[in-house]
Amino acid sequence: MTEPTPSPDPILRGQLLHLLEAVEASGRAVLPRQDGELLLLVVEAAARIFGAAAASIALVDEAGQYLEFRVSYGAGNESLVGMRIPINQGIAGYVAITGQPLAVSNVRTDPRFSKDFAQSTGYVPQSILAMPLISGERVIGVMEVLDKISAPSFGMQDMELLGIFARQAAIAIHQAQQVSRLDAAFLRELRQLAGQHDDAGLLKDLLDGLAQTGNGEGEQLKAVADVFYALNLLGEAEQRACFEVLSAFARYAKRTPADIRGME
């Protein structure tokens, strides 16, 4: 056959490239990392994939009352981070409350009415595509990509594509949050134990042990951390059980100080 190979459809090629980038970025995001680092990775990837001038992530606080902007990439990024808005306000609030994505372009406020939130960040976007970050059935935050560079507004294909990406990102973020919450609970229990005895000596020893490799104690603690991580992969009931066991152990340990001293 001497038929020339047809050149691939440039739109299709672009879409495939975007999909591959999305898969690659989501895969990298699944690695447990420091919370902030992970979020930054996700928004950078989102901005790149969707050709957006800026992107941000706001997470729902533990009480479910506020959305707090945690990371931002691109235009207007400094002033946005740290801002909190009530969970039910604005475009991000709507998306958080309903769990539905929304694409808005060309927002024009009537000057007779008060200024809205975007203007207080010093950067007023022309177009916004906001997606809920959903883990299980819970909305944990909202990801927004702002001002698509290659087109005047976000279309439906972008809504669908960002949906796929947002689902992956939400899983990674939720997992990182759970790991850090379990870490915090573990340290809190350890501190309580340490507080019973001479200053924070026990805690320091334990943490030093954790940092060292090849040390028997450190290995043991790392194994404990692995158990915590494995528990985190299970459901909420299992995690509650984990807390209860840990608390029971702490209560038991308080009653037998001699045994604890033996560990020192």
**Does residue 39 come out as left (phi exceeding 0), alpha (psi in the -120 to 50 range) or beta?**
alpha
Contact 97, 76 (CB under 8 A): no
Of the candidates 27, 36, 82, 86, which one interacts with another protein according to CB under 8 A?
86
Q: Which is nearer to another protein, 14 or 82 (CB)?
A: 14
Please, what is the end-to-end C-alpha distance for the chain in angstroms? 80
Give the Cα separation of 197 and 38 in Å (integer).
37
Q: Which of 28, 77, 105, 253 binds another protein (CB under 8 A)?
A: 105
- CA contacts within 13 A on the Cβ side of 37: 8
Using CB under 8 A as the binding rule, whether residue 120 contacts another protein is answered as no
Site for another protein in 219-238 (CB under 8 A): none
Question: Tokens 């020192």 correspond to what residue?
Answer: 264
* d(C-alpha 170, C-alpha 28), whole Å: 13
Work out whether 99 is an interface residue with another protein (CB under 8 A): yes
Q: Least separation, in Å, of the C-beta of 99 and another protein?
A: 7
Of residues 181, 177, 168, the one with CA closest to residue 60: 177
Q: Is the dihedral of CA 222, 226, 232, 235 positive or negative?
A: negative
3-state secondary structure (DSSP) of residue 145: strand
Q: Given candidates 24, 37, 79, 109, which one binds another protein under the rule CB under 8 A?
A: 109
Nearest approach in angstroms of CB 254 to another protein is 34
Least gap, CB of 121 to another protein (angstroms)? 16
Does 141 bind another protein (CB under 8 A)? Our answer is no
Q: Does 245 bind another protein (CB under 8 A)?
A: no
Q: Based on CB atoms, which residue is closest to another protein, 109 or 247?
A: 109
8 A C-beta contact, residue 80 and residue 56? yes
Binding positions for another protein, 65-84, rule CB under 8 A? 65
Among 104, 207, 246, 253, binds another protein (CB under 8 A): 104
Binding site for another protein (CB under 8 A): 11-12, 15-16, 19, 60, 64-65, 86-91, 93-94, 96-110, 112-116, 137-139, 153-157, 159-161, 163
